[in-house]
A = this chain, B = another copy of it.
Amino acid sequence: MYLPTHFNEIDPSEITTLLERNPLGCLVAQTEQGLCANHIPMLRAPSGALIGHIARANDLHALLAPKAEVMVIFKGEESYISPNLYPSKQDHHRHVPTWNYQVAHLYGRISFQHDTHRKRAVVGQLTKVHEARVNGAARWKMSDAPDDYIGQMLDAIVAFEIEVTRVIAKSKISQNREPRDFEAVKQHMQQTSRDMLAQRMERLPR
């Protein structure tokens, strides 16, 4: 990814937040059939590995060699930025349109896991996180479903773990603009409910 220094996101807590708020990662691999992408909810485990699962019917687990290199893309909010947003435009008109966004690309080596115990653990962790987030105390639990049904569901998936070897992230949030233009963009982010971009701009040391 093209990553000018001023857009380089190096704050680990920002990257963690980006992944937690945008857990549907895009898992990209180069296979003998060409480039391939799958959109998969993932979590970062305490070990730093990304965990998730795919359908057993998804041939990705058969196409990739053990420990194959993959890239996972997590994308946050985005916004078109019109030159009209910049107060300084009135003075010199030296602006062009751009796009603001936050992304993280995690590279690593993927291993697929077929044993039921491991699959149950991965599904359990994903469920716990997402249900706590949307349903709180009324959260759905795996134990709400009959055992035979959960068994069938686990048979239909393959778990995976990606040992992360490299993380690059970009917060493209008008850092390279003069203060009055930066403030105007931040207000626009607030007004258009780009809360994550607005909050990231708030936290930027300036």
Contacts and interface: CB of A to CB of B under 8 A. Distances in A.
A145 B83 contact: yes
A144 to B, nearest CB: 6
Nearest to A86: B140
A64 interface: no
A196 interface: no
Interface size grouping (class) on chain A: 35 or more
B82 A26 contact: no
A104 to B, nearest CB: 11
Contacts of A107: 34-35
Interface stretch (A9-17, A69-77, A109-117, A197-205): A69-77
A107 B146 CA distance: 42
A1 B103 contact: no
Nearest to A84: B140
B149 A78 contact: no
A141 to B, nearest CB: 10
B138 A84 contact: yes
A206 interface: no
Contacts of A94: 145-146, 149
Contacts of A73: 26, 37
Question: Which 10 A-B pairs give the minimum distances between C-beta atoms?
Answer: A2-B58, A35-B71, A30-B30, A94-B149, A83-B140, A93-B145, A84-B140, A96-B153, A24-B78, A80-B130
Given A37-B71, A96-B150, 11 more contacts: A2-B59, A24-B78, A24-B99, A35-B69, A37-B105, A39-B75, A82-B130, A82-B140, A84-B135, A93-B146, A96-B123
Interface of A: 1-2, 4, 24, 26, 28-30, 34-39, 41, 54-55, 57-60, 69-71, 73, 75, 78, 80, 82-84, 89, 92-97, 99, 101, 103, 105, 107, 123, 126-127, 130-131, 133-135, 138-140, 142, 144-146, 149-150, 153, 170
